[in-house]
Structure 1
């Protein structure tokens, strides 16, 4: 039997200073999340000493696993020079060059701390460039905690809006006006998506697409669907 008494105690302590005892809602699990102490390769060890094969990899951010020798060496070398600066640096330029060289669609890039910030900036840029305000997104897709895209996120397919383009405000704290800023299109449904996007017409500033949406069950997007909505 798995013993997690130290994690339980850690969560009770954390709840005194953080809602639900953590700052990442997706990491919470009832009755309390497992608190981790260390990682090595593809494995993590919790505060109770239990060892697990880690399939999350910090939500795919750690593709090399924990404690990779080359990554650790690079971090230690940079640590001696400083890890955070307000001004730009050469590594910033080098990473941008690498990305633009590898991805033909990238003309320019801008770095952000989170995906939510990236989506927010992208939508603002699209609205500024087009002079339009309406945004389209797929049912069941998550694009961060930004008001314009926090609609029709968590509902299972049985509660989707059947391709009508309607919006469901599933989270407290969202203004009702958000429903007038976004339309929902059914994932991989060419006919209904085309109808909704055509109706939005000249009011549409951007279409957000996640090729492998986790909230929709990691269903892969079809090439035909991408072509139909004009994204390839």
Structure 2
């Protein structure tokens, strides 16, 4: 006999899977690199997120220089904005249309203290546009950002390619995978897992620590198998 859940019941994970993800966006910038790349890169990323069905949570373009983060003051302002939307944010996308300022990006994430998945993206350079007017150098900027995040103890996710066109299929796949990571993290936080019965004596491969799960915010509720069988026995064949 299959025990069906009441029709009105919707699992939190299912609710999360249906709603659009809210992604906080940090646009990096470094002073002596071309500013027009920051402006156009910001617009491109927002269009890509919209196409992917994700909501962008980003500071107004006029709130900081070129709508990006470079200085300590801009990092503080962006972090404050993110904290105000803490309960909405599922993940953070850091994008580098030029080299970017690694300290400002790391400080933004530290001050915001969101504790959500972070994806690091860097725009690729065009071999035909490597003059001072169009050179990005996001390749090196990404390494600097990641190095600082490791020093700060902030975990992050990388794209499949070190630098990637955000309008490409490769980045679309990266974004989809990142979205799945965000959903899993959001769904497992403060989760309550039910365990029916004890572990089979012969299978130590399925052992786990309830204390470690609890430390991660996941509670485990146990139910003896005899209770399960007893409840089943008391059911009538026509019970819903």
TM class, shorter-length: under 0.3
Greater helix share, structure number: 2
TM-score (norm 1): 0.27
TM-score (norm 2): 0.26
Over alpha carbons, which structure has the higher Rg? Answer: 2
With CA pairs under 8 Å and 6+ residues apart, which has the higher RCO, 1 or 2? 2
